[in-house]
Amino acid sequence: MAKKAFKAESKRLLDLMIHSIYTQKEIFLRELISNASDAIDKIYYKALTDDSLVFDKDNYYIKLAADKEKRLLTITDTGIGMTQEDLENNLGVIARSGSFAFKQENELKEDHSIIGQFGVGFYSSFMVADVVTVVSKALGSDQAYKWESSGADGYTIEPCDKETVGTEITLKIKENTEDEHYDEYLEPYRLKSIIKKYSDFIRYPIKMAQDGEEQTVNSMVPIWRKNKNELTAEDYENFYAEKRYGFDKPLKHLHIQADGASVYRAILYIPEKPPFDYYTKEYEKGLELYSNGVLIMNKCADLLPDYFGFVKGMVDSEDLSLNISREMLQHDRQLKLIAKNITGKIKSQLQSMLKDEREAYEKFYQSFGRQLKFGVYSDFGMNKETLQDLLMFYSSKEKKPVTLDEYVSRMPEDQKYIYYASGESIDRIEKLPKTELVLDKGYEVLFLTEDIDEFALKVLMSYKDKSFKSVSDGDLGIEADAGESKTEQEEGGRKELFDYMKTYLSDKVKDVRASKRLKSHPVCLTTEGEVSIEMEKILQAMPNSQDVKADKVLEINVNHPVFQSLQDAHEKDKEKLALYTNLLYHQALLIEGLPIQDPVAFTNDICKVMV
Ligand code: ADP
Ligand code: MG
């Protein structure tokens, strides 16, 4: 019989499996049992709508048998089985579950520990077996088929005999090597402990013969129905991995056993890292939804608000109907109650993390802070009250992220506002001339580096009765240093000079004026009105931007020697004043990280000053 070759990606993955140095080879069993359980689920679901099919619980099980002499381990299930076509399509091609598809082979090679966390499923059996044989008979079919492969060189499929519907997978366990004792996968006690570890909650009995007696190994009690005290952190981590909620180790789990107005159980996780597609529109939030222990939906989006869309996990409620449709579910009162309850629990969990486990919270915030800020901003600020205490921003004083509460609680008496400055990076903001006055005054400034930050603060408007104030705002609410009084003549001269400069830059800035905030720098750009320079950059970068512009003000430091040069030019040489105005304006643009319209003209201007 001719051997068929695996599809290219499958072959590569197989190679990896066969040569894997991955230490937790034991997970192959978890994968095979999970497939068997899925296959029984499929019959169960069919029976719900198909009257000719009766699901009698006693007839559905998974069975393990080990033959030490022949080195054979067999996993049998009474599930839905596979047709010849299914065998071809499902076992000849990988990445059906999609979890593998997005991880590149290279990445896998670098870090073998990743393998165990992937949905590599069926193929993981090649980590422990030289030959894998699958005999299967599909529901509603008369003919059974045998699929066999000894690894990368391909597989065969041929008709065979099998009485009952279901699948039987036989692994020819590898010979021991110096570092690997494959024998252990033929030892009942060892197999039992692997099942206990990963598959205890499987809903169907996993039977195994030991000392001539058949017993059911798994408790069949799902983890969420167990008492919290009986469970270890490892149990929750294993459940997270087994369910493929993520490939990271979760930062935190919540086990909810609610018996109030809404009765439900839930296990929720706060992941450490965002999935690769988290901040794209491809990402789908949602929790698994069970009704009385039976999965009815993979991703029930209505259970989570968008701003907590990163939460993973499952909910089991006894009050939901099995056959409920998606549309009906959306309007389900019970579900709404659960969602509300869950949202509250997640919030208090995050708050207690912030309070008691700052380091973990900062890790979380690194990954999902952006999501929380979007949450404040979206829906017209409807959720800002819920989220404001979870926000953090980089502090000029602490040199690390701080909460708004921490900021406000150490504000000096005379400080009126919560100050912030935005820019591309902490480093750049620190050097912005316009932050000088506020920092010199000893006030703490929040440095905003993410595009969403300023928008979120605009929606918040204030925190504990303190308004937010940008350091580039016209009125900083800081008393100017007394002493410097000018004669009317001086004022008049300045006004004329600034008016001249303003006319010259008329299409570019709204005003030119003497700066109250500059100390050592000659010039800076500030804004009037709602749109800041950072917001202008973001809005301009958006597709179909409406060409929203900030109302810019060019501020000149009248105590800087450059101001004297401007005055001299104003008196003697208007052409020179035009040149200087131009140069100062462009310098201000550069400092703000704004593009210069005509860099060639700008460099020519500099040359004019040099010669
Ligand atoms: P996944 O379970 O993520 O889809 P696997 O590699 O574990 O990926 O399995 C591939 C596919 O093979 C399954 O989706 C299923 O269609 C089929 N399959 C595997 N094992 C069985 C089984 N015991 N009974 C029926 N179908 C199975
Ligand atoms: Mg699988």
What average pLDDT does the segment 29-38 reach? 91
Q: Is the CB of 36 under 6 A from ligand 1?
A: yes
pLDDT tens for each residue of 440-468:
899 999 999 998 999 999 999 999 999 99
pLDDT of residue 99: 36
According to DSSP H, which parts of 254-409 are helical? 326-330, 333-356, 358-377, 384-387, 404-409
pLDDT of residue 96: 38
pLDDT of residue 326: 63
Exposure class string for 297-336: b at 16+ Cβ within 10 A, else e = beebbbbbbebbbbbbbbbbbeebeeeeeeeebeebebbe
Ligand nearest to the CA of 120: 1
Give, using CA atoms, the residue closest to atom 1 of ligand 1: 97
Contact status, residue 201 vs residue 30, Cβ threshold 8 Å = no
- The chain-wide mean pLDDT, for the chain, equals 88
Candidates 3.30.360.10, 3.40.50.1100, 3.40.50.11260, 1.10.3720.10; CATH matching 391-470: 3.40.50.11260
Q: What is the secondary structure of 315-328 as a DSSP string?
A: EEETTS-TT--HHH
Residues 40 and 411: their CA atoms lie apart, in Å, by: 63
Please say if the pLDDT value at position 483 is more than 70. Answer: no
Candidates 3.30.1360.120, 3.30.479.30, 1.20.120.790, 3.40.50.300; CATH matching 488-610: 1.20.120.790
CA of 9 to the centre of ligand 1 (A): 17
Please say if the pLDDT value at position 109 is more than 90. Answer: no
Atom from ligand 1 closest to the CA of residue 169? 23
pLDDT of residue 141: 96
The pLDDT > 70 percentage for the chain reads: 90
Q: Is the CB of 119 under 6 A from ligand 1?
A: yes
pLDDT band per the 50, 70, 90 thresholds, residue 486:
low
pLDDT band per the 50, 70, 90 thresholds, residue 579:
very high
What average pLDDT does the segment 436-440 reach? 89
Mutation to probe ligand 1, out of 9, 38, 136 (largest number of atoms < 8 A from CB): 38
Q: Is the CB of 90 under 6 A from ligand 1?
A: yes
Q: Is the CB of 35 under 6 A from ligand 1?
A: yes
CA of 121 to the centre of ligand 2 (A): 4
pLDDT band per the 50, 70, 90 thresholds, residue 7:
confident
Residues 7 and 95: their CA atoms lie apart, in Å, by: 11
Atom from ligand 1 closest to the CA of residue 91? 12
Reported CATH class of domain 223-362: alpha beta
Give, using CA atoms, the residue closest to atom 20 of ligand 1: 35
Ligand nearest to the CA of 94: 1
pLDDT tens for each residue of 231-263:
999 999 999 988 889 988 999 999 999 988 788
Q: pTM to 2 decimals?
A: 0.75
Q: Which residues pair with 208 in a beta bridge?
A: 64, 215
Contact status, residue 139 vs residue 43, Cβ threshold 8 Å = yes
What average pLDDT does the segment 349-358 reach? 97
Q: Which two tokens stand for residue 242?
A: 């087994």
Q: Is the CB of 246 under 6 A from ligand 1?
A: no
Mutation to probe ligand 1, out of 90, 97, 147 (largest number of atoms < 8 A from CB): 90
State whether the Cα torsion 412-415-420-425 is positive or negative: negative
Residues 148 and 72: their CA atoms lie apart, in Å, by: 14
CA of 122 to the centre of ligand 2 (A): 6
pLDDT of residue 24: 75
pLDDT tens for each residue of 45-55:
888 888 888 88
What average pLDDT does the segment 338-367 reach? 97
Atom from ligand 1 closest to the CA of residue 36? 23
Task: Give, as one character, the DSSP assignment of residue 3.
Answer: P
Reported CATH class of domain 10-216: alpha beta
CA of 22 to the centre of ligand 1 (A): 22
Decide: residue 268, CB within 10 A, 0-12 exposed, 13-18 middle, 19+ buried: buried
Contact status, residue 520 vs residue 436, Cβ threshold 8 Å = yes
Ligand nearest to the CA of 80: 1
**Which strand (E) or helix (H) includes residue 86?**
helix 84-91
Mutation to probe ligand 1, out of 122, 141, 157 (largest number of atoms < 8 A from CB): 122
Q: Is the CB of 122 under 6 A from ligand 1?
A: yes
Contact status, residue 525 vs residue 552, Cβ threshold 8 Å = yes
In the chain, where the domains are located: 10-216, 223-362, 391-470, 488-610
pLDDT of residue 327: 66
Please say if the pLDDT value at position 113 is more than 80. Answer: no
pLDDT tens for each residue of 369-415:
999 999 999 998 999 999 999 999 999 999 999 999 999 999 999 99
Per-chain residues with Cβ under 5 A from ion ligand 2: 35, 121
